[in-house]
Amino acid sequence: MNLTVIGTGYVGLVTGTCFAEMGNNVVCVDVDKSKVADLKRGKLPIYEPGLDPLVLRNAEQERLRFTSSLAEGMAKTEIFFIAVGTPPGEDGSADLKYVQAVAREIGQLLQGYAVIVDKSTVPVGTAELVRKTIQDELDKRAVEISFDVVSNPEFLKEGAAIEDFMKPDRVVIGSDSDKARELMRQLYAPFNRNRERTLFMGVRDAEMTKYAANSMLATKISFINEIANLCGKLGVDVENVRKGIGSDSRIGMSFIYPGCGYGGSCFPKDVQALIRMADEVDFEAGLLKAVEARNNRQKGWIAAQVKRRFGNDLSGKTFGLWGLAFKPGTDDMREAPATVLLEELLAAGARVLAYDPVAMETARKELPDAWFASDALVLTAHQYDALQGVDAMLLVTEWKPFRNPDLDAMKRLMKQNVIIDGRNQYDPQLIREAGFEYTGVGRRND
C-alpha cells in the first residue's frame, strides 16, 4: 500500500518504518526541514533500540522516504497517518493545534478517496473534529471527495517499540466505515499471521481505549508506590508484598515495581488529559486525580531521603546520580523523576555528578544551562566517574549496567558509603554486608 505518515517524532518514525519493513511504500512528512535533512542522511532524532538499521535499510530500498512537503508525499496515498504531537495545555488538556493543522492541509490537497488515521493520542471526539476540519476545506474548494477518519491508537513502549509494533498484543481500530475497516484490515494483515489481533470498534471507543490503557498502568504504579510508602512506615518489606500480590493471576507482576515515580511522554500527559475530559463533562475523576497526586509526591522520594540523611542544607555535599532518562532503553527525559530530583538537590546547595548510558546528549539540551555553567551539575563519561568523592549514590533509572555494580570500586571512590535506591534494584542485605548504608522504597531500612 501507499502510505503517508505526518510527523517524524517517536510514534510517526516507528510507525512509518515498521510499515515500510512490511513492504509498504511510505512517505514520512515533517515540517522541520532540518530533521528531514538529517533523516535523509540516516541521522535519527530519537534513540530507540533497533530502529536505526530498519530506517537505513528501508530508505536504501526506497520503501521509506522523507520530505517536508505534504503535497509531495500525497501522490497515490491510500492511507494518511496523523502522528504529530499533542502536548498538554496549561489546564492539562491535549493541545490539538498540530492535529488540526494537518487535517486542514489534507483537506486543501486531497484529490481522491483516502483513509485519514489518528495515530496520535487524542481526546475522545477528535476524529469528529478532524472530519469537520477536512470537510470545511473541501467545501471551500467546492469539491466532493469522500474520505473516512479512523482512530488507530499506538501502544508502543519506549525501548521496545519495534517489537511492540511488529508483534502487537492488539491492534485497535475505531471506524464506522466498512470500506475503511477493510483497508485497515489489509494493512495490518501481515501482523496477524499467528492469530487475529485486530479489534474493530467505534471511533470514540478506540480514542478512549488508549487513555484508559495508559491510565490503568499508571494506576498500578501509583498503587504499589502507595503501598511501598505504607510498608516503610510499618516495618514491612514491600518486595515480599509485591511478590505475594503479583503471583495472583488477576493482578500479575507487570507495573507493580515500587520506585520514584513514572515519567515520559505518555502516562503523565494522558492521565492529565483524561482528568480534563472528565472535568469537561462534570465527572469527578477522583481515582485518576489520586494517581497523579501520588506520582507527583513519589518523584520527590529520593530528595526526601537525601535530606533526611544529610539535612535540608546540602551545601558542600556531592551526590552521584545514576540514570537521567525516565526509564531504561530510551533517551527521553520528558517528565523524568531525575529532573525533579536535580531541581531539589541543586536548590538545596548540592553538587551532582550524573551519568546515563544514553540520555547524556538529551540532558545537555534540555536541562538549564545555568546548572552546567555553575558546575553544580557535571555529566560524567562513565558510571563510576559519577561516584568520585560523593556523599551518596542515588539510583534513579534501572539501566542494566547499574544492576550489579562493583561494590569494591564504589567504596574506593565514594566519600561516604551511602546508597539511596529509587528503583529497588539491590538486595539490602548484600549491600549492607558490603559496608554500605542502604535505603530503598518501602524496604526495611533499619
Known catalytic residues?
266
Distance CA 113, CA 134 (A): 12
Residue 228 near residue 442, CB atoms below 8 Å:
yes
Residues 26-46 as b/e (b if ≥16 CB within 10 A, e otherwise) read bbbbbbeeebbeebeeeebeb
| List of E strands, 119-275 | 147-151, 171-174, 198-201
Each as own residue / partner, the long-range contacts of residues 37-46 (CB below 8 Å, 24 or more positions apart, any chain) are 39/8, 39/13, 39/66, 40/66, 44/13, 45/8, 45/9, 45/13, 46/9, 46/10, 46/13, 46/331, 46/332
**69 SS3 class:** coil
Residue 51 near residue 88, CB atoms below 8 Å:
no
Amino acid letter, residue 134: I
Nine-digit cell at 202? 467505534
Nine-digit cell at 367? 536541562
Find the largest Cα–Cα distance for the chain.
Answer: 78
If you compute the radius of gyration of the chain from its CA atoms, what whole number of angstroms results?
24
Distance CA 226, CA 182 (A): 45
Name which of 35, 164, 21, 13 is nearest 83 in CA terms.
Answer: 13
Nine-digit cell at 352? 551532582
Residue 9, phi then psi, degrees to nearest 5: -80, -160
The three-state (H, E, C) secondary structure of 24-45, written as one string:
CEEEEECCCHHHHHHHHCCCCC
Residue 287, phi then psi, degrees to nearest 5: -65, -45
Name which of 66, 144, 67 is nearest 107 in CA terms.
Answer: 144
**148 SS3 class:** strand
Tell me the β-bridge partners of 171.
198
Nine-digit cell at 301? 522520594
Which residue bears the cell 556523599? Answer: 391
